[in-house]
Structure 1
Amino acid sequence: MLLSQERNLVVEYGRKMLEAGLTTGTGGNLSILNRSKGLMAISPSGLNYLDATAGDIVLMDLEGNIHDSKRKPSSEAGFHIALYKKRPAINAVVHTHSVYATTVACLNMELPAVHYLVGFAGKKVPLAPYATFGTPELAENVVNTIEDYNAVLLANHGLITVGQAIQNAFDAAEELELIARIYIQALSVGKPVIVPEDEMERVIDKFSTYGQAGGKED
């Protein structure tokens, strides 16, 4: 099977999204790009992650053409393609409708550095303006907003994370959901204190070397 490893990983991480409470039903989507072959493996439209098999995962090139696939791709394939074109160093995209991150997005707020783990995204998580799902306008808003961050909130919609590998993008989605929850809870009590920008620069630098092969500080 063409891109069997990538297809199996999309199935695996789709189920992990459900298990981690990062989405429900058929919501959200994820993809992995094999740059050497010029093909993206992306979750199919409208299929429950628990029912998906590797053969259901759709292969597309970065011009939007479908290869070796029996199903329709996610309706959000456009912003996956746009992100891969804009960011040559990323090979995975995860899009969630996780509750707290989406709550922040529905308030049309960025997620600031209320906790140093925002460093998974950068110094903050920026907010892309609202556009109808699955449209070129949404893809344009995403790529115009994300810049060099590893995550972006979609106004009144959800969260996107990117990474060199699917594990990186998924970990970022999990951690940022935690930070979004902390932020919402802190706002309900008072005014959150934001980690200074120079400290976030140090944190991001430490993230690049922490652990066995780079990772987060506990």
Structure 2
Amino acid sequence: MAQERMLMEKERALVVEFGMRMVQSGLTTGTGGNLSVFRRESGLLAVSPSGIAYDRLSPGDVVVLTLDGEVVDGTRTPTSELSFHQALYRVRSEVGAVVHTHSPYATTMACLGWEIPPVHYLVGFSGKKVPLAPYATFGTERLAAGVAGAIGDYNALLLANHGLVTVGVDLPSAFAAAEEIEFVARIYYQARTVGTPQILSDAEMARVIEKFRTYGQKKA
């Protein structure tokens, strides 16, 4: 008898894979952070569970829900930050994945209450800057509202006294934004310890963002 396929099997496997990569890349520690994938055609999202270490995570631990929060597959409790994942999918129709990290340098910026300006062109992974959402207790509707209100058309957002959240059309692109913004946050921190960093202009960042649209290998 053929084994029944797991609901959103591919997306659940991606959550496990990129959860491990978050830890291996130093973007979070322990059970910190969370990530999800949203399949708009079915209206279902696969999200990491609460309080399970990424090296112990299996696809069966990943929770599948509707956008309204109804669990349709899985026995685990979803991440405590589910509400801001849902909010981001509602306000950005092109977003297919969300990554939340506690990466050291981006979190340092968030704890200082600083946005990240275009100190390096790779801030273009977010947009012309990385904005800052106001502080709210983790896992609350107030935090979700603050995230949804501050994200605008950016792909990365600092959460005051908390961490970083990134979005993308898929999980690889959201994860790439988290990695690159952590790099830029480190450069900005280091530059400010030495002197006053030079900031790129809006016009230059517009050129960079346009070049990003055609960067990389294209399908034949």
TM-score (norm 1): 0.97
2:100 paired residue among 95, 100, 103 = 95
For residues 1-218 of structure 1, the aligned pairs below 5 Å read 1-213=6-218
**CA positional deviation for 1:68:** 1.0
1:161 match: secondary structure: strand
**CA positional deviation for 1:36:** 1.0
1:142 match: secondary structure: helix
Q: Give the paired residue count.
A: 214
Q: Partner letter of residue 203 of structure 2?
A: D
**CA positional deviation for 1:206:** 0.2
Q: Distance in 2 between matches of 1:61 and 1:156?
A: 30
**CA positional deviation for 1:213:** 3.3
Q: What 5-or-longer segments of structure 2 have no aligned partner?
A: 1-5
Q: Distance in 2 between matches of 1:81 and 1:113?
A: 28
Q: Distance in 2 between matches of 1:115 and 1:133?
A: 30
Q: Partner letter of residue 119 of structure 2?
A: V
Q: Distance in 1 between matches of 2:79 and 2:139?
A: 8
**CA positional deviation for 1:154:** 0.1
Q: Distance in 2 between matches of 1:211 and 1:182?
A: 24
Q: Distance in 2 between matches of 1:87 and 1:42?
A: 17
Q: Distance in 2 between matches of 1:23 and 1:60?
A: 24
Q: Distance in 1 between matches of 2:146 and 2:167?
A: 15
**CA positional deviation for 1:22:** 0.2
Q: CA offsets per residue over residues 48-81 of structure 1, 9 Å max, x none?
A: 0000000000011111111111100000000000
Q: Distance in 1 between matches of 2:141 and 2:14?
A: 27
Q: CA offsets per residue over residues 6-26 of structure 1, 9 Å max, x none?
A: 000000000000000000000
1:60 match: secondary structure: strand
Q: What 5-or-longer segments of structure 1 have no aligned partner?
A: none
Q: Distance in 1 between matches of 2:73 and 2:177?
A: 30
